[in-house]
Amino acid sequence: MFEEVKFTRMAAVELYHVLQTTNFDDPMVNRFRYMITTNVEALKKEIDEINKAFPAPEKLSEYQTKRNEIFKKYDIKDDKSYSEMPVDAKKSLDDEVLVLETEYKDLIDEVKRLEAEKKEFLDEEITVKLYKINIDLLPTISKDNNYSGWDIWGVLNRHVVIAPKD
């Protein structure tokens, strides 16, 4: 059953991501597959609008590549490896990052401005016509997912699941 759903653009992004990436156990009924396909198609339009409204600045990938090269040079993979660095090496890395950030200051300022605008845009309420299904048609959420089954269930339950009337 189709229903107009009001939620923020951020909730639309979240639902789109869940529908695109979640693994479900078989059996899956055709009505469930239809729900996923139809809703992904409807939400894709919103995702495209977001991407069109906020394209990445031209030099962003260049900056990110250079920054990643600095971290790779010092063999930093995560916060833990950074915190375990000797003080001298940490200072050298921090100095190199500071030089890079100074060189790309205008870009970093632009990214911060765009992120603030994008957050406002994502917080706006929109209406999307979604296909909803009865809870009985929802297959079991696989244990093989990047997110917990409860988190996935929460997103699906808020937006596309019709609760029983008993």
Residue 86 pairs in a beta bridge with none
Is pLDDT of 163 > 90? no
| CB within 8 Å of 113: residues ≥ 6 apart | none
Closest to 101 (Cα-Cα) out of 55, 70, 58: 70
Burial class (CB in 10 A: 0-12, 13-18, 19+), 22: buried
- Give the Cα separation of 140 and 144 in Å (integer): 11
CA triplet 28, 35, 2: central angle to 5 degrees? 140
Is pLDDT of 113 > 80? yes
The pLDDT of residue 162 is 94
132, 15 Cβ separation under 8 angstroms: no
- Strands 133-134 and 125-131, by their bridges, are unpaired
- Strands 161-162 and 125-131, by their bridges, are unpaired
**Residue labelled with tokens 């090496």:** 89
Beta strands in 39-79 (DSSP E): none
**Residue labelled with tokens 């596309």:** 160
Q: Tens digits of per-residue pLDDT, 11-59?
A: 999 999 999 999 999 999 999 999 999 999 999 999 999 999 999 999 9
Q: Tens digits of per-residue pLDDT, 49-99?
A: 999 999 999 999 999 999 999 999 999 989 999 999 999 999 999 999 999
Q: How many other CB atoms sit within 10 Å of the CB of residue 72?
A: 10
